[in-house]
Amino acid sequence: MRIEVLAIFPEMIAEAVSHSILKRAQEAGIAEIIAVNLRDFAADKHRTTDDTPCGGGGGMIMKPEPIARAIDALRSCGEPCRVILTDPRGELFTQAKAAELARENRLIFICGHYEGVDERVREHLINDELSIGDYILTGGELPALVMIDAIVRLLPGVLGEVGAADKDSFSDGLLEYPQYTKPREFRGWKAPDILFSGHHTQIQRWRKWHQLQRTRQLRPDLWEKFEPSKKDLELLGQVEPEWTEEG
């Protein structure tokens, strides 16, 4: 996958993607992430990318010309691409959206700033307008990085273990189950005995029970969309189980 990020602070992108999983994905040739300086496409000597809003009002608006020139230049190779604008008014970015975008070969992110971008960018230059939540940040670089991280980790080979991302929270509409590691006991706090039982079927039931309970209690919005099976409902009817092989 090739990802290009149009930003007025491209160094934020370049630095962030040079670490951890994103770095490994690039070194393995699975993803290529390129920070593009939007100011390079401005027409004046001051490399201006914003101007005052038509009709008056506070703040500044990102100009359409530099964005259009940049998109034209990136599209000139003829390879199909999907153009995404980061904006708090956009569609909420979800795990399902990350999975959808992970199937693309090429993405271009436009990092919004100030009071937003000229409406003509939305009308004519983008395919998706995405938000990471109902709050306002100073710029679109951080939202773009959040989305890129969520997308790239879903690409085959990035996490190493096949199907590793399938176990994440939200992958099946539920929150993830509790996770523990060694030592088995720490400061008198014990990891559940069931996880050391070797009864994999019962461990899976224990984990599913916690997924169902956690989602119902902590995220009623997700629970409302989830359609529990008959077995799920039967499982939910049990008190927190320390199942045995026969339990």
Residue 88 known to be catalytic: yes
Choosing from 50, 118, 153, 205, which is the catalytic residue? Answer: 153
**Strand, coil or helix: 152:** helix
Quote the strand ranges of 30-122, DSSP E.
32-37, 50-51, 61-62, 82-92, 106-111
Residue 192 known to be catalytic: no
Residue 153 known to be catalytic: yes
The tokens describing 156, both together, are: 């085959």
How far apart, in whole angstroms, are the C-alpha atoms of residue 42 and residue 63?
A: 9
Residue 166 known to be catalytic: no
The tokens describing 140, both together, are: 């679109």
> Which residue type is seen at 206?
W
Choosing from 168, 172, 176, 232, which is the catalytic residue? Answer: 168
Choosing from 100, 115, 172, 232, which is the catalytic residue? Answer: 115
Using an 8 Å Cβ cutoff, are 240 and 209 in contact? yes
Choosing from 65, 82, 88, 122, which is the catalytic residue? Answer: 88
Beta bridge partners of 156: none
Active site residues: 88, 115, 153, 168
